Amino acid sequence: MHNTTWKQWLIFVLVVLLVVLSAHYLVRASDLLWAFYQWVHGLLAPLFSGSGVGHIILGLLSLGVVPLVVSAVPAAGYWLLTKKQFPYFWPLVWAVLLILATLFLVHV
């Protein structure tokens, strides 16, 4: 195997170990993320009709706003400390979106 393959394998094993050891905290974090999504969804619900296009727009906005807001928190902290743009903002948005979409599929 190539040197990079071993590195990737080691990183994979370490991430799995980290997830197993911190599972309790990850479950609590996912519960908080889901609660935040439901709160945003509840706030936006009165603005849109409960069926048809209004329901689709509500879902799009709720699922789109939450990852942006969650990712903006560490980005704002980074900016306050360094006065520079957070370098991993969009990868973080994508990661939160994928986690939230997974939670959405589990809860629906």
The reported pLDDT for the residue numbered 40 is 94
Residues ≥6 apart with Cβ < 8 Å to 58 = 41, 44, 45, 47, 48
The reported pLDDT for the residue numbered 1 is 60
- Number of other residues whose CB lies within 10 A of the CB of residue 41: 16
User: Which pLDDT tens digits describe the chain residue by residue (108 residues)?
Assistant: 677 888 999 999 999 999 999 999 999 999 999 999 999 999 999 988 777 888 889 989 999 999 999 999 999 999 999 999 999 999 999 999 999 999 989 887
Give the global pTM. Answer: 0.80
